[in-house]
């Protein structure tokens, strides 16, 4: 077998596994939704199938369309299934230029922003102060980190979905442990706004804002939702979080949110606080800030931003994702987010 044939076979297997895993997730979500919303009507299912085959090019893109349609009660032309987004859209719209988003210790410098709560970067044995990029001697690091902070958070490069996160206090801090963990960024803990404490008192309530850059150079926010911890979680985890949509015009939470299993709820299951009537403070400023940041990095078309509103109403950026910033939840509750983009055009697919 020729090398090119081997490469084709490997690519086929990788794509098959990728689509199979995401579609399995979609069908599990669909089954959960059908418990509360009833079966997906056959005529809507047929619309999803036709759109997947005729517009997107393959029936394998239908399962997430089923989920979106059941949640909204209708099919909408222009929806982007999660597996289509990951395999067709992102390699062309973001490509290798999205990779720097995984290197968390360069975000502030790369995006020319002080909105990241970064303190100290660690990379290849070198510690440096994030604000100035000055290299710190090993014996300086501990005092620098804990001069004004009792506890700091350490995030590994390429960490995501609440994984690769470690907390250090001054007594526990050890350079050898950091070296074993690998490269990353130390950040100060953010005291979240009181409105989030009322929803769930543990720290880490974050907004996921999705921005898009058009070929004409316009950037805007296409989707927004709030993520909250649950139960005994010390910070937000993708495996357990509660998600509630945010109205893009008013900053108000949707009346209903969803568990990590996509069961619909109208109040937080731990605190029993209802979502209706809650308005995110300084939401407009948060949108303006991520739009400005995306303009500072015009090399990718879609970015997911994790944003916190602090105790004073200030906007802080925890991290950004331009490799595979998940869109399935926002597509379901607010989409189609990208109907004006060329991402479903046959010329785009063939490029």
Q: In sequence order, what are the beta bridge partners of 224?
A: 209
161, pLDDT greater than 60: no
DSSP letters, 29-70, are HHHHHHHHH-PPPHHHHHHHHHHHHHTSS-GGGHHHHHHHHH
Tell me which DSSP letter residue 85 carries.
Answer: I
CATH 3.30.470 fits 97-104+192-322, yes or no: yes
pLDDT at residue 187, as a whole number: 94
Query: Given its phi and psi angles, is residue 251 left (phi above 0), alpha (psi -120 to 50 degrees) or beta?
Result: left
Q: Where are the domains of the chain?
A: 3-94, 97-104+192-322, 118-188
Per the CB < 8 A criterion, the answer to whether 207 and 246 are in contact is yes
Q: What is the mean predicted confidence (pLDDT) over 269-273? A: 94
Q: What is the mean predicted confidence (pLDDT) over 135-158? A: 92
> Percent of the chain having pLDDT more than 70?
94
> Residue 273 to residues 191, 278, 345: CA-CA distances in angstroms?
20, 10, 43
163, pLDDT greater than 90: no
pLDDT tens string 7-51: 666 676 888 898 889 999 999 999 999 998 999 999 999 999 999
């Amino acid at each position: 077998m020729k090398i090119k044939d081997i490469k084709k076979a490997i690519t086929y297997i990788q794509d098959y596994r990728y689509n199979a895993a995401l579609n399995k997730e979609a069908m599990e979500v669909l089954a959960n939704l059908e418990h509360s919303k009833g079966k997906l009507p056959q005529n809507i299912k047929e619309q999803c199938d036709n759109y997947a085959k005729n517009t997107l090019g393959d029936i394998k893109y239908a399962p997430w369309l089923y989920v979106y349609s059941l949640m909204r009660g209708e099919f909408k032309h222009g929806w982007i299934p999660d597996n289509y987004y990951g395999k067709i859209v992102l390699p062309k719209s973001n490509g290798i230029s999205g990779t720097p988003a995984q290197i968390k210790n360069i975000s502030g410098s790369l995006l020319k922003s002080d909105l990241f709560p970064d303190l100290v970067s660690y990379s290849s044995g070198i510690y440096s102060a994030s604000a100035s990029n000055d290299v710190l001697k090993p014996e300086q690091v501990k005092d620098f980190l804990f001069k004004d902070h009792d506890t700091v958070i350490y995030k590994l490069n390429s960490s995501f979905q609440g994984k690769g996160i470690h907390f250090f206090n001054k007594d526990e801090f050890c350079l050898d442990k950091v070296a074993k963990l690998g490269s990353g960024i130390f950040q100060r803990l953010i005291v979240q706004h009181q409105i989030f404490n009322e929803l769930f008192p543990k720290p880490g309530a974050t907004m996921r804002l999705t921005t898009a850059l058009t070929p004409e150079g316009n950037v805007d926010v296409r989707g927004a939702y709030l993520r909250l911890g649950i139960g005994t979680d010390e910070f937000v985890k993708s495996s357990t979080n509660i998600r509630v949509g945010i109205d893009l015009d008013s900053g108000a939470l949707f009346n209903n949110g969803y568990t990590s299993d996509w069961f619909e709820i109208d109040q937080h299951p731990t605190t029993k606080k209802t979502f209706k009537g809650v308005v995110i403070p300084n939401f407009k400023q948060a949108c303006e800030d991520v739009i400005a940041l995306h303009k500072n990095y015009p090399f990718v078309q879609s970015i997911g931003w994790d944003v916190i509103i602090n105790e004073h109403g200030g906007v802080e950026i925890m991290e950004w994702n331009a490799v595979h910033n998940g869109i399935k939840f926002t597509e379901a509750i607010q989409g189609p987010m990208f109907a004006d983009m060329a991402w479903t055009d046959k010329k785009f697919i063939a490029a």
